Amino acid sequence: MNLPPHVTDRAFDRLAEIGADTQGQALRVAVEGGGCSGFQYEITLDAPAEDDLVLEGKGQKVVVDSVSLPFLAGATIDFSDELIGARFVIENPNASSSCGCGTSFAM
């Protein structure tokens, strides 16, 4: 059995700051074909769907669809706030390589 992704407190805190839950939305993390390395992350605010894995914390939700889930097994979903910008980031142990853009990876 693959481990589900882990969501950090920083990521849940950021979702609370932007009021995702008050709009009935969750942070959707999906994996799609494309990008410079073969796969890319798609991170959006979206309403949870029936077949989503829902990860909850601090009153917030992060959802992953069933197709993306195997690509994100054991990954960490975090929020990074640095000088170059603030964004949700994914540390994925399944990625054999990644691209400088931070949203594209290979397996």
User: Contact at 8 Å (CB) between 105 and 39?
Assistant: yes
pTM of the model: 0.87
Angle at 22 between CA 32 and CA 41, to 5 degrees: 10
Question: Any idea what the CATH number is for the domain that residue 93 is in?
Answer: 2.60.300.12
Q: Does residue 1 fall inside a structural domain?
A: no
Residue 2 to residue 73: CA distance in whole angstroms: 6
Q: Does residue 86 fall inside a structural domain?
A: yes
Per residue in 2-37, pLDDT (tens digit) is 789 999 999 999 999 999 988 899 999 999 887 777
Q: Does residue 36 fall inside a structural domain?
A: yes
Total domains present in the chain: 1
Per residue in 41-94, pLDDT (tens digit) is 999 999 999 999 999 999 999 999 999 999 999 999 999 998 888 999 999 988
Q: Does residue 64 fall inside a structural domain?
A: yes
Domain region containing 36: 6-106
